[in-house]
Amino acid sequence: MNENEISRVIFDAGIKVHRILGPGLLESAYEECLYFELLKSGLFIENQKPMPLI
């Protein structure tokens, strides 16, 4: 998959989540649903990776 195809999968999943859930929920609700949709699409993703601050 190239960058454009990956971007399309992510964009479509985001639109699908927003259409189903609608506006007004907490970000964490959208995040979990988007994570689930992206896993279903076959992408290897990780949720909320910690980043060290220096």
Residue 54 is predicted with a pLDDT of: 87
Instruction: Characterize 23-44 residue by residue with b for buried, 16 or more Cβ atoms within 10 angstroms of its Cβ, and e for exposed.
Output: eeeeeeeeeebbbebbeeeeee
Domain boundaries, the chain: 3-40
Decide: pTM greater than 0.75. Answer: yes
Q: How would you write the pLDDT of the chain (54 residues) with one tens digit per residue? A: 899 999 999 999 999 999 999 999 999 999 999 999 999 999 999 998 898 998
Residue 30 is predicted with a pLDDT of: 96
Residue 1 is predicted with a pLDDT of: 87
Residue 17 is predicted with a pLDDT of: 97
